[in-house]
Structure 1
Amino acid sequence: MSVSPEEFMSAAPKAATGSSAWAARYASDIRRAWLEHAAQAPRTLQQHLGPSELGVECDRQVAGKMAALPETNHVVDPWPSIRGRALHSEAEDVFDADNARTGVLRWLTEHRVTPHPEHPGTADLYDAVEQAVVDHKFLGTSSMAKVRKTPPRKYRGQLLLYGLGYYLEGLPVKRVAIAAYPATAGSLDGLYVWDQRFTGPDGEIAPEVVELLTEIFTDTERRKRQAEEITSGRARLNDIPASPDNDECYFCPFYRPQAAKDGGTGCPGPGKVAAVS
């Protein structure tokens, strides 16, 4: 993002549009159906945090989710999530069909793993031939550029947690990989794969993997204590340290830039975060 989340949100269209007054009203009805359906999606309603959330760098966001605080970000549009769910469903069909075509059980799709007893999750893909765990990411142009440079910590953490889940089940995991798809492009030519080794020649988890997983588990325990502080009333959300980021804040359920002006609920976001240690 070249502008702050606050600037982006203030400039965003407030409603669907159309070629006439009737068309604009009808577009709003269609948009409402999509949004209400998205709000009832299982992933939206899930109460536990999975591997995709544990690697987020912001204590405030994760602790707030653990405390089950009500959302204050009512502006972010769920369309990217809707598109992502649809493409993930298609990806499952694609690799299941490849197994059927070849007669070889190479791909294991949408498999539930438990890298942490309290935080299971569903991994996208396991490749039995390459002994690799793969996570599908369907990305826009700017997010794709970031993955090509260095995948965000939350992506790497999510992937390593899935790898650990398979490893704990006794399956060999030599590598983990992000398959980054150009979701808004006109072809698959922009498909990019980022990979990292998970185990060494001895079959043991690589030191750099252990290091990041240890960080994530340490963060998780600290955030659970922070969530308990919030639910007990001994702390407010904005008492929890935050790691503001223009991209991450925009999609955070607790982002509310107006909080910087009125002191109300929600996190004000980048440049205005009052955090205490």
Structure 2
Amino acid sequence: MDPQGAALARWVAELIYQRGITASRSLAHRVGPSALGTACDRQLAYAASGTPRLNFEADPWAALVGNAIHTWQAELFRALDAGSGRFLVESTVTYRNVSGTADLYDRRERIAIDWKTTKKNKIRTIRRSGKAPQNYVTQLQTYGAGLAAGGERPERVALVWLPVDGGLGDIFAWVAPFDQAIADAAVDRLGSLRGLPPRSVAATPSRLCAWCDWYQPGGGQGCPGNGEEAR
């Protein structure tokens, strides 16, 4: 490999990494709807405690690609709305003191939509199963509850998967009735973990540990996991 080219590639990657960890979403220390659905109580306890990020190993590229697509989708629906007020785009919602940003709400169809980006193979798996990951469902239903608390009347919620390596024909939408009880259960769970030392809370290690902001396999203030994240 050309040494100069390799050096340049590393430099570009480092600058992208630094910008990724300083983006507003990355610096947010409050617990939003996207954090509520984690299967790991310890991860949620870390978020509730406001502990700063401890893991600087995770590659942010996939998240940056997802954010870029979210931005494009927001511009699309703002243009389609054209000031009519039908579409609420990237609107701040709050439910029981948990605030977040709802990607899209269509007042005519009374449906809250959250964009998800992934590879088409993952989309095919979700399409075959007909089941959405529970963490995403919790996140989405909390957005719905926030919209309802703000005076909107959501009847349905939807997760729309957009492929990063496919075409428009690979887009898949999962739709369900709005269910405030799911949001209530998630916020109750958060309340039960507030004030607890995160390390005293049971962890649920998985292959996703490496992307947790508080993953520290060598010890320290963070969570060491148990090695399952590598499987």
Q: What TM-score results when the alignment is normalised by the length of structure 2?
A: 0.89
In structure 2, C-alpha distance between the alignment counterparts of 1:67 and 1:146, rounded to whole Å: 35
State the shift of 1:166 in Å: 1.1
In structure 2, C-alpha distance between the alignment counterparts of 1:126 and 1:272, rounded to whole Å: 38
1:143 and 1:63, CA in 2 relative to 1: closer, same or farther beyond 3 A? Answer: farther
Contact 2:33-2:139 within 8 A present in 1 as well: yes
What residue number does 2:225 align with?
Answer: 269
State the shift of 1:271 in Å: 5.7
Which one has the bigger strand percentage? 2
Provide structure 1 residue ranges, at least 5 long, that are not aligned to the other structure.
1-18, 199-208, 231-236
State the shift of 1:267 in Å: 2.2
Alignment map for 1:39-58 (pairs within 5 Å): 39-58=21-40
Q: Does 1:245 align with 2:198?
A: no
Contact 2:104-2:112 within 8 A present in 1 as well: yes
In structure 1, C-alpha distance between the alignment counterparts of 2:58 and 2:124, rounded to whole Å: 22
Alignment map for 1:148-159 (pairs within 5 Å): 148=127, 149=129, 150-159=131-140
Count of residues paired in the alignment:
227
**Matched position secondary structure for 1:151:** coil
In structure 1, C-alpha distance between the alignment counterparts of 2:121 and 2:222, rounded to whole Å: 27
What residue number does 1:109 align with?
Answer: 89
Residue 157 of structure 2, aligned match among 163, 171, 176:
176
1:189 and 1:270, CA in 2 relative to 1: closer, same or farther beyond 3 A? Answer: farther
Q: Which amino acid aligns with 2:215?
A: Y
What residue number does 1:16 align with?
Answer: none
**Matched position secondary structure for 1:88:** helix
- Tell me which structure has the larger Cα radius of gyration: 1
Residue 192 of structure 2, aligned match among 202, 222, 227:
222
**Matched position secondary structure for 1:114:** strand
State the shift of 1:151 in Å: 1.6
Residue 213 of structure 1, aligned match among 177, 180, 183:
183
Residue 119 of structure 2, aligned match among 140, 163, 168:
140
In structure 2, C-alpha distance between the alignment counterparts of 1:145 and 1:256, rounded to whole Å: 33
Q: What TM-score results when the alignment is normalised by the length of structure 1?
A: 0.75
State the shift of 1:105 in Å: 4.2
CA RMSD of superposed structures (Å): 2.1
**Matched position secondary structure for 2:195:** helix
1:256 and 1:146, CA in 2 relative to 1: closer, same or farther beyond 3 A? Answer: farther
In structure 2, C-alpha distance between the alignment counterparts of 1:41 and 1:147, rounded to whole Å: 29
Q: Does 1:257 align with 2:227?
A: no
Residue 19 of structure 2, aligned match among 9, 29, 37:
37
Q: Which amino acid aligns with 2:140?
A: L
CA deviation digits over 1:53-105, x for unaligned, max 9? 112121111111222334332221000111111111100011112223xx854
Contact 2:215-2:224 within 8 A present in 1 as well: yes
**Matched position secondary structure for 1:74:** coil
In structure 1, C-alpha distance between the alignment counterparts of 2:73 and 2:185, rounded to whole Å: 31
Alignment map for 1:1-150 (pairs within 5 Å): 19-100=1-82, 105-117=85-97, 119-141=98-120, 143-145=122-124, 147-148=126-127, 149=129, 150=131
State the shift of 1:256 in Å: 3.0
- Percentage identity across paired residues of the two chains: 31
**Matched position secondary structure for 2:69:** helix
Ranges of 4+ aligned residues in structure 1 off by more than 6 Å? none
CA deviation digits over 1:21-61, x for unaligned, max 9? 00000111111111111121111111211111112121111
1:146 and 1:213, CA in 2 relative to 1: closer, same or farther beyond 3 A? Answer: farther
